[in-house]
Amino acid sequence: MAEDPALDMALLVDEQHAAVYRYAYRLTGAVCDAEDLTQQAFLAAQRKLGQLRDPRRARGWLFAILRNCYLKTRRKRVPLSATKVDLDMDGIPEKLPDELAIDPERLQEALDELPDEFKMVILMFYFESCSYREIADKLSLPPGTVMSRLSRAKGHLRARLSHAMSDEASSQSPPAPIQSLKLRRG
Amino acid sequence: MKVETMNDEQFDRAVGRAMEQVPIPLGLAERLLATVNSANIVPSADGPLAEGNKLAEGSGLAGENRLAGERGRVVRRRWLVSASMAAVAALAASVVVYPFLAVPSPMGYDTLINFVGDFHDREPAAEGKPLTEVSPPAAYPFPSSVVTNGLTRWRPVRKLLGRTGVAYDLTGARGRRATLYVVDLTSGSRPIADNCVPTSPHNNGTFTVGRTMGAWTDGTLLYVLVVEGDEGVYRSFLRRQNGLA
Inter-chain contact A39–B47, Cβ cutoff 8 Å?
yes
Q: Are the Cβ atoms of B24 and A94 closer than 8 angstroms?
A: no
What range does the domain containing A43 cover? 5-74
ipTM of the complex: 0.73
Among A31, A48, A74, residue at a domain's last position: A74
**Which residues of chain A are within 8 Å of residue B102 when distances are taken between CB atoms?**
2
Q: What is the pLDDT of residue B41?
A: 44
State whether A68 and A89 are in the same domain: no
| A70 and A119 together in one domain | no
Q: What does DSSP assign to residue B162?
A: T
Specify whether A110 is located in the same domain as A139: yes
In order, the DSSP letters of B166-184 are EEEEEE-GGG-EEEEEEEE
Residue B168 main-chain phi, psi, to 5 deg: -105, 125
Domains held by chain A: number: 2
Q: What local confidence, expressed as pLDDT, does residue A92 receive?
A: 46
Q: Would you kindly state where each structural domain of chain B is located, as residue ranges?
A: 28-101, 109-236
Positive or negative, the CA dihedral A26, A28, A31, A35 is: negative
Q: Which residue has the higher pLDDT, B101 or B22?
A: B22
Do A165 and A89 share a domain, yes or no?
Answer: yes
One domain for residues A61 and A130: no
Residue range B34-93, pLDDT digits in tens: 888 887 644 343 433 333 333 333 333 333 333 344 444 444 556 677 778 888 888 877
Does residue B169 surpass a pLDDT of 80?
yes
Closest CA to B146 of B218, B48, B50, B88: B218
Domain boundary among A43, A74, A105: A74
B100 CB near a chain A CB, below 8 Å? no
Q: How far is CA B231 from the centre of its chain?
A: 22
Confidence at residue B67, expressed as pLDDT on a 0 to 100 scale: 37
- What global pTM score does this model have? 0.46
Do A139 and A87 sit in the same domain of this protein? Answer: yes
Residues paired with B238 in a beta bridge: B146
* pLDDT, one tens digit for every residue, chain A (186 residues): 545 566 578 888 888 999 999 999 999 998 889 999 999 999 999 888 888 877 778 888 999 999 999 988 876 554 444 444 444 444 444 444 444 467 888 889 999 989 888 999 999 999 888 888 889 988 888 888 888 889 888 888 888 887 665 555 554 443 333 333 344 333
Same domain, A14 and A35: yes
Residues A52 and A109 in one domain: no
* Same-domain status, A111 and A50: no
Name the residue facing B14 among A26, A35, A100 (closest C-beta): A100
Structural domain ending residue among the three candidates A35, A54, A74: A74
pLDDT at B187: 77
A96/A65 same-domain check: no
Q: Is B127 on the interface with A (CB under 8 A)?
A: no
